[in-house]
Amino acid sequence: MESVLPKSLQEALAALESEPDATLLAGGTDIMVEVNLAGLRPAHVIGLRRIDELRQLEGRRIGSGVTYRRLENGEHVALAQLSRTVGSPQIRNAGTIGGNLGTASPAGDALPFLAALDAEVELASAKATRVMRWDEFIVGVKKNSRQPGELITAAILPEHVPQRQAFAKIGVRSAMVISTVSACLFRDDDGTTTIALGSVAPIPLRPRKAEAMISAEKSPSQAALAEFARLVSEEVSPITDHRSTEGYRRYASGVLARRLLERCL
Amino acid sequence: MTLDQATRVKGGIGQSTIRPDGIPKLTGDFAFVNDLFAEGMLHAATRRSPHAKARIVSIDIAPALAMAGVHTVITQEDVPGDPLFGLEDRDQPVFAHDEINYWGEPIAVVAADDRETARRAAAAIEIEFDVLEPLTDPEEAERQGSVFRHMKIRNGDQDLHGEVVVEGYYETAMQDQAPLGTEAGLAVPDGEGGIDLYGPSQWVHADHEQVYPCLGLAPEQVRVHPSGLGGAFGSREDMSLQIHICLLAQITGRPVKMEYDRSESFTGHVHRHPSRMWYRHEADREGNLVRVEAKIILDGGAFMSTTNAVMANASYFAVGPYRVPSVQVDGYGVKTNNPTCGAMRGFGAVQSCFGYESQMDRLAEKLGMDPVGLRLKNALAPGDRIPTTGQLIETALPAAECLEQVRLMPLPPPLDSDDPRHLPGGTGLTTPRSAVKRGVGYALGIKNLEFSEGFDDYAEASVVLTPAGAEVHTSAVECGQGLMVVCQQIARSALGMEHVAFVHDNTSDMGSAGSTSASRQTQMTGGAVLEAARGLKAEVLKTHGGDDLNDEGVWRDGSLVATMDEVCANGPVTFHTQYRHPPTEPPNETGQGNIHADFAVAAHRAVVDVDPELGLVRVVQIDTAQDVGKALNPQSVIGQVEGGIMQGVGLATMEEMVVDRGRILNANFTDYLLPTFLDAPNVEAILIEQEGSWGPFGAKGVGEPPTISSTPAIVAAIADAVGKHFNRVPVRPQDITGVL
Amino acid sequence: MIDITLTVNGEDRSASVRDSESLLTVLRETLALPGSKPACEQGECGSCSVVLDGELVCSCLVMAADCDESIVRTVEGLAQGDKLHPVQQAMLDSGGVQCGFCTPGFVVAAAHYLDENPDPSSDELREELSGNICRCTGYGAILRALEGLAQR
């Protein structure tokens, strides 16, 4: 195995240009599980945790190397809430938002936040930088659009982020748990509501009909809230696995959606 | 020496004396089996079956042998001695050779220069399988007669009936002991054809009994050493890697180390039997229990392990600590192609307790009685007979007192915080305070202590005087429970000496202490130490004409008549004993007899906060009162109580091996969930000390009762919160919400 | 093999690491520091906790090759000769050690946390240690040990 431990983005991109298929190592919290338990043996590794540019956290821009620990104490309320639920303190000190994007798991904790905002993902190579919307980046279960030679450099939030935002994640125990269902909701002053759910589809799911319906309700009644929940339940497409059942996930999606909205009214 | 005098010796019984292995464990210096190292050691890895049932058509080890760094690859045909091993019955082949009977069954092992090479080589072995349909339904197994043991219990007039009837069906899932230290071992050839084994065992002599025959060696050629264990909880009564590494060491002539990773640990050790239970309780209108019928099926998996004893236990305690004049129990330990099940803390009594305590709550409801009142009305007391076996209860048995004490303990204050760490769902922010319902539930449980049914249960120990102080010698395994310190305390009190060291002896230097399980070591090894210490003191006093002993030497009428150097002038003075408890007997054809050596009871009260809409649970508080006889080290006892309760919390709310057609789907810590710090309830414990047990200074074993009635108390509390009953553990969100 | 140099418990060390092996493996097998434990190798139990460049992490999830020029503190660096670290002493006194397999991870995590937060609430302690699993104690004695320290 060959490893490079660059101290600048430029160095990293140059290394990546020579080895476009190199394994990118930030916090290691996903990759090292593969190494330890699934026999992953990367031939080339580029370690990213010394690169200051990737750790910038400023306004709209969240560097891919920003750890959950920093996000826990950051300015975006829902992002801070979800960050607190990631793994454990040990995991949060090492795990990065870039890693969450790179792994692109259906249960990735940060992904519903980015999806509900229609955030963008910035990728850089030695030759160019490009930006794409989250659902152009995350395209399937653990599948993303990063090309060989590219590195995720940042998540970019929209200029306007509604102040009223909330996150919730269901798990069977109180820490270190992969979500059964998770959700992140934003409600703007004019009633525009977006919500994204995790663990209920191959990629974070935006229930558009539900969003449209509740965005039109300036002061939703109990009936409207129930209808919102019902539509969310209809639009998610969860599976049954060893963690939970399709039926429970579908039902719980609606409950979470309604509760998040209630928090934001 | 009176009890009062005994407790006044510094570091003696009744004190929370610090354990001697505490500091090395805290500094990282303690040598767990996982940490052992020998110069020139090879590393081993196992090849296991990916099928639950299959015929092995062929095994080609050549690709593995061809790899650089591989020293040997062995299969069943390389086993020189007895091809089979097993704890109750030698029914399991060292390696599967023509048929596979469970997923993960070992087929071959490799010894190589390093672990990576060993694992790659093990994976490179080519095996052709003829995959067959596994038997995975335990009820189908019973129908087919695929049964290790059927326990039939009939006590009392079988035609007695009660007017008020409650029937129920219950299930408990497969729990895993999940000790934090995975299985690991080191086998070292002695250069003369023998082997020294350092392995993950709860009973070194039982390992010894199985290892030397398989190796084709004489008993004295194999020495098994009690080693540093990261917990056990029953997972290590059966062997895992011991014979494998001894064979590799024998064949290569090199020390061989093997360490399981977490996934292999789950796969490679036995689990708690999942159960299916059908109950019928009959009572009169005043709430006196008249008759209990129970049918219990425990799925033992592919090999016997300790299924016969676990199932017998579940059957003997199927009714619980209650007086019932008419009892009918049929227990079945069935054989399937599911993963093998065996000992786990509670040993069958856990499964039954969930069954009978669930029934008691339903019966109370039907009678319109308070659930605690119903239990108190029927609770066993000394002088009663065990309702299943008819055995007279001659030990202390404060069942009613435990329950009454628990009921008197203050309830926690109502939920008044919006801090998510105090709400169901925790920092997942799923649940506003307004969505929470609180529930309270009670349960009472009973467990036997020591082995039963006429098993020759004994423990050997020596106490030795040296110029530097006394030594306790035993081969009893310490897996964290505090055996070492309690042995020191007992010896200190019995001798009147402060300087007492604990020395672990291997199987050649000391006889069997029996298993570290069945809540037995404090009573058995502790009993042996007490007997040996008393014997030693008496002998020394007689030899030197003294009337008292302490660290300085022998005294008479207040004067020192022999220093310790003088006492040991001809070398250390040893007193060895083989200690037995009062005899038990095997059951007759209806399960009757003096089956058990001792009993202990405990009561639990659980307070839970539930989010009924999402089915999420937070266990807020568990209060308990436990029958301990005499707390020889109160801090250690509390440690067992709190630790055992947490395993009960796990079974109630989150722990379950998910098995699909014989394959475990969640053999890792991501998906087999153990309770974390944030899941831990507050625990308040009252230790009830009553005389009556034969144990040292009246002590009873304490390890298992906390794990037995804590689970049903939690389930009862959830039921109280949401207003519906549950018939399986763990209780899942979909069970609470009713949305499947 | 990749050569790295790093500082472990204040001492300069060097190691040849094999490919992508973890820092945990290198500590235990190459650097003769077996105190950190491999209970799960997935970051789900905290038994391998160390402080890496000032942050508490699971060493099983750190690639050793990524540790060149890093500063690591393990359980072996907590006591000063015969004098236990206050966290170690407190856990010894409270009964917070049973089998001991989780103990190194707990003392590293707790010592690091209390260093930066000397007066935490019980809830904060429980949350900060929610990445450390104990199967023996039920956490009660560990909490009592640390609450006792927080008051001092």
CATH, residue C56: 3.10.20.30
The residues, any chain, with a CB within 8 Å of residue B453's CB and separated by 6 or more, are B309, B312, B584, B585, B586, B587, B595
> What tens digit of pLDDT does each residue of A18-47 get?
999 999 999 999 999 999 999 999 999 999
B419 chain-A contacts, CB cut-off 8 A: none
Judge whether A81 is closer than 8 Å to chain B, CB to CB: yes
Please check the confidence at residue B1 and state whether its pLDDT lies above 80.
no
Average pLDDT of chain C? 97
Are C71 and C19 part of one and the same domain? yes
Q: What is the pLDDT of residue B313?
A: 97
- Contact state of B180 with C39 under an 8 Å Cβ cutoff: yes
B435 chain-A contacts, CB cut-off 8 A: 259
Are C52 and C103 part of one and the same domain? no
Q: Give how far Cα B680 sits from Cα of B441, B649, C151, Å.
A: 17, 8, 22
- Contact state of C42 with A37 under an 8 Å Cβ cutoff: yes
CATH 3.30.2130.10 applies to domain B33-133+177-268: no
State how far Cα A8 lies from the chain centre: 25
Q: How confident is the model at residue A175 (pLDDT cuts 50, 70, 90)?
A: confident
Residue among B22, B32, B231 whose CB faces C97 most closely: B22
List strands edge to edge, sheet with A164-170: A164-170, A181-187, A193-198
Judge whether A18 is closer than 8 Å to chain B, CB to CB: no
C89 residue type, one letter = Q
Placement of tokens 């008496």 in the chain = B538
Q: What is the pLDDT of residue C151?
A: 67
Residue among C104, C133, C138 whose CB faces B642 most closely: C138
Q: What is the pLDDT of residue B66?
A: 98
* Short-list B383, B406, B378, B385, CA closest to B396: B383
Q: Give how far Cα C35 sits from Cα of A216, B9, B28, Å.
A: 60, 35, 4
> What tens digit of pLDDT does each residue of B128-145 get?
999 999 999 999 999 999
The residues, any chain, with a CB within 8 Å of residue B350's CB and separated by 6 or more, are B172, B272, B344, B651, B707, B708, B711
- Report the alpha-carbon distance of residue A67 to residue A26 in Å, rounded: 10
Please check the confidence at residue B499 and state whether its pLDDT lies above 70.
yes
Are C43 and C98 part of one and the same domain? no
The residues, any chain, with a CB within 8 Å of residue B558's CB and separated by 6 or more, are none
- Contact state of B180 with C132 under an 8 Å Cβ cutoff: no
Please check the confidence at residue C152 and state whether its pLDDT lies above 70.
no
Cα nearest neighbour of A263 on chain B: B432
The chains found to touch C (3+ Cβ pairs under 8 angstroms) are A, B
> What tens digit of pLDDT does each residue of C103-125 get?
999 999 999 999 999 999 999 99
Q: How confident is the model at residue B194 (pLDDT cuts 50, 70, 90)?
A: very high
- Contact state of B34 with C37 under an 8 Å Cβ cutoff: yes
- Report the alpha-carbon distance of residue B75 to residue B52 in Å, rounded: 19
Residue among C21, C63, C131 whose CB faces A90 most closely: C131
Mean pLDDT across A183-196:
98
Mean pLDDT across A152-160:
98
Listed residues C51, C77, C103: the one ending a domain: C77
Residue among A175, A180, A247 whose CB faces B740 most closely: A247
- Report the alpha-carbon distance of residue B308 to residue A183 in Å, rounded: 48
DSSP code string of B19-50: PTTHHHHHHT---BGGG---TT-EEEEEEE-S
DSSP code string of C93-117: HHT--SS-SSHHHHHHHHHHHHHH-
Whether pTM exceeds 0.90: yes
Please check the confidence at residue A202 and state whether its pLDDT lies above 70.
yes
Judge whether A166 is closer than 8 Å to chain B, CB to CB: yes
- E strands in A90-192: 120-124, 129-133, 138-140, 143-144, 151-156, 164-170, 181-187
> What tens digit of pLDDT does each residue of B284-338 get?
999 999 999 999 999 999 999 999 999 999 999 999 999 999 999 999 999 999 9
Best CATH choice for the domain B275-452+588-737 from the list 3.40.50.720, 3.40.50.1970, 3.40.50.300, 3.30.365.10: 3.30.365.10
C61 chain-A contacts, CB cut-off 8 A: 27-29, 32-33, 90-91, 94
The chains found to touch A (3+ Cβ pairs under 8 angstroms) are B, C
Say what percent of chain A tops pLDDT 70: 100
CATH 3.30.365.10 applies to domain B3-30+458-580: yes
Are C14 and C70 part of one and the same domain? yes
Residue among A81, A167, A174 whose CB faces B676 most closely: A174
The residues, any chain, with a CB within 8 Å of residue B504's CB and separated by 6 or more, are B225, B226, B473, B474, B475, B478
For position C118, which CATH number holds? 1.10.150.120
Helix C140-151 vs helix C103-116: angle between axes, to the nearest 10 degrees? 30
Kindly give the residue spans of alpha helices, DSSP state H, lying in B280-348. Answer: 307-316
Tell me the domain boundaries of chain B.
3-30+458-580, 33-133+177-268, 275-452+588-737
Q: Is B470 strand, coil or helix?
A: strand
> Is it true that B3-30+458-580 and B33-133+177-268 share their CATH fold?
no
Mean pLDDT across B594-608:
98
Placement of tokens 């490009």 in the chain = A130
- Contact state of A170 with B428 under an 8 Å Cβ cutoff: yes
Biggest CA–CA distance in chain A, Å, is 61
End-to-end CA distance of chain A: 54
Q: Which domain holds residue C92?
A: 86-151
Residue A246: its H or E element = helix A246-264
Listed residues C50, C77, C104: the one ending a domain: C77
Residue among C2, C42, C131 whose CB faces A36 most closely: C42
Q: How confident is the model at residue B6 (pLDDT cuts 50, 70, 90)?
A: confident
Other Cβ atoms less than 10 A from the Cβ of B416: the count is 8
State how far residue B416 is from chain A, nearest Cα, in angstroms. 19
- Report the alpha-carbon distance of residue B181 to residue B179 in Å, rounded: 6
B740 chain-A contacts, CB cut-off 8 A: 245, 247-248
- Contact state of A175 with B430 under an 8 Å Cβ cutoff: no
Q: What is the pLDDT of residue C150?
A: 83
- Contact state of C131 with A49 under an 8 Å Cβ cutoff: no
Domain tally, chain C: 2
Placement of tokens 């305690």 in the chain = B317
Please check the confidence at residue B443 and state whether its pLDDT lies above 70.
yes
The residues, any chain, with a CB within 8 Å of residue B715's CB and separated by 6 or more, are B354, B358, B441, B652, B726, B729, B731
Q: How many A-C residue pairs are in contact by the CB < 8 A criterion?
A: 100
Placement of tokens 């916090």 in the chain = A27
Q: What is the pLDDT of residue B493?
A: 97
Average pLDDT of chain B? 97
Mean pLDDT across C82-108:
98
Q: How confident is the model at residue B7 (pLDDT cuts 50, 70, 90)?
A: confident
* Short-list B480, B618, B557, CA closest to B181: B480
Residue among B27, B427, B670 whose CB faces C75 most closely: B27
Tell me the domain boundaries of chain A.
164-264
Are C46 and C97 part of one and the same domain? no
Q: What is the pLDDT of residue A59?
A: 87
Are C52 and C99 part of one and the same domain? no
Range B65-68 contact pairs with CB under 8 angstroms and sequence separation of 24 or more: B65/B121, B67/B112, B67/B117, B67/B120, B67/B121, B67/B124, B68/B117
State how far residue B120 is from chain A, nearest Cα, in angstroms. 9
DSSP code string of B559-601: EEEEEHHHHTTTS-EEEEEEEEPSP-----TTS-S---SEEEE
B114 chain-A contacts, CB cut-off 8 A: none
Cα angle: B526, vertex B531, B532; to 5 degrees: 95
Q: What is the pLDDT of residue A64?
A: 98
Determine phi and psi for B275, rounding to 5 degrees: -130, 155
Residue among B614, B654, B671 whose CB faces A255 most closely: B614
End-to-end CA distance of chain C: 48
- Report the alpha-carbon distance of residue B716 to residue B719 in Å, rounded: 5
C127 chain-A contacts, CB cut-off 8 A: 89, 175
Q: Give how far Cα B304 sits from Cα of A137, B342, B516, B659, Å.
A: 53, 8, 20, 19
Cα nearest neighbour of C19 on chain A: A1
- Contact state of A88 with C43 under an 8 Å Cβ cutoff: yes
- Contact state of A37 with B733 under an 8 Å Cβ cutoff: no
CATH 3.40.50.2000 applies to domain A164-264: no
State how far residue A70 is from chain C, nearest Cα, in angstroms. 12
Q: What is the pLDDT of residue A235?
A: 98
- Report the alpha-carbon distance of residue B627 to residue B79 in Å, rounded: 47
> What tens digit of pLDDT does each residue of A66-103 get?
999 999 999 999 999 999 999 999 999 999 999 999 99
Mean pLDDT across B35-52:
97
> What tens digit of pLDDT does each residue of B667-695 get?
999 999 999 999 999 999 999 999 999 99
DSSP code string of B244-292: HHHHHHHHHSS-EEEE--HHHHHHHS-EEPPEEEEEEEEE-TT--EEEE
> What tens digit of pLDDT does each residue of B562-590 get?
999 999 999 999 999 999 999 999 999 99
Determine phi and psi for B403, rounding to 5 degrees: -70, -40
- Contact state of A47 with C57 under an 8 Å Cβ cutoff: no
CB B463, CB B538: distance < 8 Å: no
Q: What is the pLDDT of residue B5?
A: 79
Mean pLDDT across B242-260:
98
